[in-house]
Amino acid sequence: FRAISIVTLTGAVLLALMIGYVAARYHFDLNDRIEQQYRASIRDELTSLLNRRGALTAVTEALAVRASTYATILVDVDDLKRINDNYGHSAGDEVLCILSERMRKGLKPGELIGRFGGDEFVAMKAYRKLDELHEFIARLQHALSRNIKLDAIDVTPGASLGVAIYPFDATD
């Protein structure tokens, strides 16, 4: 056996530490990229709300807990086609973004809002008293019916809402 010099041993340890650092850094960077791509895959590109996939996943996860009563509210924005036809799709997109931000700002714990696509949104509310659900729906309606002023237009949108309550309207 040849004697291993201190310099050689120190070099080998430093090389091993560098390889370990590079491997760990690669692992964390890869996990970060995967997490970023997942977050992007569940968000609506226009509004940054949960998209259909993200909203359905969140609703499914919430229902799996079965700790409360849940309401799922489907929201269909009225007259968006008219806004798109009369003022252009960029105006319609801006209206959707404003409505999305209004709904998002009004959320409380146990509530979510997502965009299903086009002019359709889905909201969910976990609640114990029916008054809590009524208050949530009133907040949504208020957010969806207030006047919007854009550069050249002044619109007052509205929306149609449909409510399903778990476990009364469905058991799965």
Q: Output the tens digit of pLDDT for each of the chain's 172 residues.
A: 466 677 777 888 888 888 888 888 877 777 777 777 667 678 999 999 999 999 988 888 877 776 678 899 999 999 899 999 999 999 999 999 999 999 999 999 889 999 998 999 999 998 889 999 999 999 999 999 999 998 878 999 889 999 999 878 876 6
Give the 3-state secondary structure of residue 114: strand
Q: Is residue 132 a contact partner of residue 68, using CB atoms and an 8 Å limit?
A: no
Q: What is the pTM of this model?
A: 0.77
The amino acid at 31: N
Can you read off the two tokens belonging to residue 109?
Answer: 């714990």
Closest CA relative to residue 166, chosen from 62, 50, 76:
62
Q: What is the pLDDT of residue 2?
A: 60
Residue identified by tokens 């799709």 is: 89
Closest CA relative to residue 68, chosen from 113, 130, 26, 155:
130
Radius of gyration of the chain measured on its C-alpha atoms: 25
